[in-house]
C-alpha cells in the first residue's frame, strides 16, 4: 500500500518529511481552489481508523476549544469554526473518538520554519485517518506564532496531521489555518528550545523532548 507523506514547505525552501515514498512536495505559488462544500472522501492510509465523519453544519458552527494534554504540558487552542468548519469538524470528530490519544508529535523544525507537527498515529509522518477533505481559509493566510494549521500532501489532501507554529513563520498560503493557541505557547517554545535530531534535514527532525499526546479534550465555548 502506497503511503503519502505529509510535508510543510517553507517559502522558497523545501523542507519535506521524507517517508517511505522518498519523494518531496514542491512549493507552489497558489493552492488549488477548495472543493465545493464539505465532503470527507475515503482515502488511504487508514491508521487507527475511527470511521468517516458526516458533516453536520449545525454542530460544525458551535465554537469549541481543544486542550491537548501532553508529556510536556497542556496546549489549548480555540477552533476557528467560523473560518474552517470542515477542518474543525474533522478535528472534533477525531478527538471525540480518541484518535490522537497515545500518539506523539513526530516532527519539530527549528530553522526557516518553526513548527511542531502532530496527528499521525503511526509517528512516521505518513499516517492518515482513512479520509481526506478540502482546504479552507487560505485566502490571505499567514502563520504567526500560535497558529494551528493542517499539514498536507498537496491541495485538498487534509487528513489528521496538523502543526503548531511556535514562532512567526513564513509559509505559502497552502495549509489550512484552523486554530489559535490560547494557552501553552510557552510549552511549545520549551519543546522547541529542547531541539531536534536533524533526522530529516538540519533543523528538522524528531523533538529531543518527547511530546506524547495523552488525550485531547473538547470544550464548548
81-110 pLDDT, tens digit per residue, is: 999 999 999 999 999 999 999 999 999 999
Helix (H) or strand (E) holding 196: none
What number of CA atoms fall less than 13 Å from residue 30's CA on the CB side?
A: 4
Report how far apart the first and last C-alpha atoms of the chain are (Å, whole number): 41
Identify whether the C-beta of residue 166 lies closer than 8 Å to the C-beta of residue 127.
no
d(CA 134, CA 122): 23
Predicted pLDDT at 30: 38
pTM value?
0.87
pLDDT at residue 37, rounded to an integer: 81
Do 206 and 199 meet the contact criterion of CB atoms below 8 Å apart? yes
Q: What is the largest CA-CA distance in the chain?
A: 45
For 178-207, write each residue's pLDDT tens digit: 999 999 999 999 999 999 999 999 999 999
What pLDDT digit, counting tens, does each position of 139-183 carry? 999 999 999 999 999 999 999 999 999 999 999 999 999 999 999
Amino acid at each position: 500500500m502506497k503511503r503519502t507523506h505529509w510535508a510543510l514547505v517553507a517559502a522558497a525552501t523545501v523542507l519535506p518529511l521524507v517517508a517511505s515514498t522518498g519523494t518531496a512536495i514542491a512549493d507552489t505559488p497558489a493552492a488549488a481552489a477548495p472543493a465545493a462544500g464539505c465532503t470527507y472522501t475515503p482515502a488511504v492510509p487508514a491508521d487507527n481508523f475511527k470511521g468517516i465523519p458526516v458533516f453536520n453544519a449545525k454542530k460544525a458552527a458551535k465554537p469549541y476549544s481543544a486542550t491537548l494534554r501532553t508529556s510536556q504540558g497542556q496546549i489549548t487552542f480555540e477552533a476557528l469554526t467560523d473560518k474552517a468548519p470542515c477542518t474543525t469538524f474533522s478535528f472534533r470528530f477525531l478527538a471525540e473518538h480518541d484518535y490522537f490519544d497515545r500518539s506523539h508529535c513526530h516532527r519539530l523544525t527549528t530553522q526557516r520554519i518553526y513548527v511542531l507537527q502532530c496527528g499521525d498515529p503511526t509517528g512516521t509522518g505518513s499516517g492518515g485517518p482513512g479520509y481526506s477533505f478540502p482546504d479552507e481559509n487560505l485566502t490571505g493566510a499567514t502563520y504567526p506564532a500560535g497558529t494551528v494549521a493542517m499539514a498536507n500532501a498537496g491541495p485538498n489532501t487534509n487528513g489528521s496531521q496538523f502543526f503548531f507554529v511556535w514562532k512567526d513563520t513564513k509559509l505559502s498560503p497552502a495549509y489550512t489555518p484552523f486554530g489559535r493557541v490560547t494557552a501553552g505557547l510557552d510549552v511549545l517554545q520549551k519543546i522547541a528550545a529542547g531541539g531536534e535530531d536533524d533526522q530529516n534535514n538540519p533543523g528538522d527532525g524528531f523533538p529531543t523532548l518527547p511530546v506524547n499526546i495523552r488525550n485531547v479534550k473538547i470544550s464548548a465555548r
